[in-house]
Amino acid sequence: MGKNKFITSFERFGRSFLLPVSVLPAAGIISGIGSAFTNENTVSMYPFLDNVILQNVMKAFTALGSVAFDNLPIIFAVGVAVGLAQREKGSAALSGLLGFLVLHKMLNFLLVATNQLVSTEGMSSVEAKLALADKMQTTVLGIQTMDLNVFGGIITGIIVYLIHKKAIKVQLPAVVGFFSGPRFVPIVTIPVMALTAIGFILIWPMVQSGINVLSIWILKSGYVGTFLYGLIERLLLPFGLHHGLNWPVRTTELGGVWTIAGERVAGTINAYIATIETPTQFIDPMITRFSSGKFVFNMFGLPGAAYAMYKTAKPENRKIAGSLLFSAAATAFLTGITEPIEFTFLFIAPALYAVHAVLSGVTMLITTALGAAVLTPTGHGLINFIVYGVLQGFRTKWYIVPLVGVFCFFMYYFVFKFMIEKFKFKTPGREDNGEVKLASKKEARDKYGLKTLKDEPVSMKKQKEKNGSLGLHEQAIGLIDAHGGPENIEAVDACITRLRIDVKDKTIVQSNLIQEQLQALGFVESGMQMQSIYGAHANVLKMEIQDILGVGE
C-alpha cells in the first residue's frame, strides 16, 4: 500500500523548496565572508585588513551574496514551480516568472484603483520603508505592491504548478495548435494570476494578520518552542518531511519578523543575513534558536553517540566498527551531513533515534538559553560554523557552541552507552554473527525475499575489477537492477542527500546490495518509496538513472 496521500503531497511540497534554497548556502557564504572582513570590530582588531582594495572586494562579496536574499520571493516563484513540475520544467520556470510579475503588477494596479497605494514622495529611504511596512506594502522589482514576502513566491509557484499540470495536456484546435502543450501554460497563467491578485487584495490582510499572530506565538513560545522544534524536526527527517517544516520558518514570517536597520525582515535566514551585514546590530538569539543547537549536536553530540557505539562493540569487532562509525561522525562534524550516522542507529534500534530526537531538542534549548547566535542556511558543520559564526566576531557568541559541545558529547555518549547495554541493542560491532553491518544478509533476505549478490550485473563486476569502484553509469545500472528493473520503477527523484525511487513491488528491492555494493551510506523505506543516502551524489545519480530509463521529470 502506498503512502498516505497527504504525507506524499507534503513531502513533495517540502522537496520543491530544495531548488530555490540550493542557491542560499553559496550566497550566504559569499555574504558572510564579505561582512566578516568589513566588520568594523574585525578591522580594528586586525589593522592589516584596512586596505582599500581588500575592503572594496569584500563589500562586493556582501553585495553579491545579498542578491539572492533580497530576491527570495521571485526565486521561490520560479523554483517551486520547477520543483513540483514533473516534466517540461522550462515551461514551468517561464510561467513561474511571468506569474510572479503579473501578480505584483496587478496588485499595484488594484492598490492605485482603490486609492490604497502609499505615497513615499519626499521621504528618506528608511522613512519610506517604514511607511510601506506599516501598510503591508513594499517594492518588488521596482513595482510598489502588497508585501507578500516569500509567501507570494511560494503561492505563485504552487498555482503555476497546478496550471502547468492541467494546461500542458490541452490540445487546441488546429488553427491555433502552435500554442498547445507547454506554450499554453504561460498563456493561461496571465489571467489566473490576475484573478489571484484580486483574491490577495480581498483576503490577504486577514491572512497576514493570522500569520502575524502565529509568528508572535512561535516567538513567545520561547524555550519550549525551541525544544519542540528540535524534537519534531528530527522525527520528520527519516520520512523526508523535515523540509516542509524548516524552510517556511527560515524564509517566511512563520519564523518571526524583526526590524533591522529600519527595515522589516521576515524569516530567520533573512534576519540573520541582514543582521551580520549591519556591524553594530545586536544578534537576537531568537533569530538563530532553530539553528545554533544543530551545530552542537551535529559536531559533538552525534560523534559522542558514535563513540558510545564503538566502546560497546565487541573487542574483536571494534576496528571494523570504528572505521564505519568514525567516518560517519567525521562527516557530521565537518559538513553537517548527519544521515549516515543517524540512519545507522535508526535502522538497528529505532529507540536510539527517538532518544536522539529528544536530546536534539534539549541541546537546542540549552544552546539558545546561553545566548549562542549562529545560523546557516543549511549544513550545520565545522565549515559553516567558521564562516557564519567565528568569522562574524564575538557578537555571535560562537564560543558557546564548543563549550556546550563538550557537555553534549558526554551527554550523548553516556545516554547511548546506557541504552545500548541496558537493552542489548545490536549496534555495529555487537552482532551475534560477528558481521559488522546494519543488518545481517540472512535477516534482510528472509524479510524481503531478496536475490543474492550473484545477480550483480556483469558490467558492474568488470568496472569494479578495473578501478576498485563503480563508475556513474555502472552504479546507475546497478541501482536500477537493485530496485527490480525498469518495469518495477515508477518515479525517480532526489533531494539534497537522498536518491528517491518509487517502486511497484518493494519486496524485490535489494537493500543490502544498495548499501554494500552500490556504495549507499544508508537506506530507508517510506511507503513505496526507496530512499538511498548518497550525499551530494544523489542528484547526479538521479539524472543518470533518468537518462538510462528515458524518463524526464
**Residues acting as catalytic residues:** 495
- The residue assigned the cell 517594492 is 139
The beta strands (E) that lie in 105-262 are given as 137-140, 143-146, 257-260
Supply 283's cell numbers: 544578534
Helix axis angle for 184-220 and 149-167, nearest 10°, is 140
Distances in Å between the Cα of 238 and the Cα atoms of 11, 338, 354 are 11, 11, 11
Q: Provide the phi-psi class of 468: left if phi over 0, else alpha when psi is between -120 and 50, else beta.
A: left
Would you say 295 and 386 are in contact if contact means Cβ atoms under 8 Å apart?
Answer: no
Torsion (CA) 316, 319, 324, 328 in degrees, nearest 10: 130
Beta-carbon count within 10 A of 482 CB? 28
Would you say 416 and 304 are in contact if contact means Cβ atoms under 8 Å apart?
Answer: yes
Q: What is the secondary structure of 333-370 as a DSSP string? A: HHH---HHHHHHHHHH-HHHHHHHHHHHHHHHHHHHHT
Distances in Å between the Cα of 349 and the Cα atoms of 141, 343, 412, 419, 447 are 52, 10, 15, 10, 17
Q: How far apart are CA 459 and CA 462, in angstroms?
A: 5
Phi, psi torsion values for 500, nearest 5 degrees: -115, 115
In SS3 terms, 513-529 reads as HHHHCCCCCEEEEECCE
The H or E element that residue 14 is part of is helix 5-16
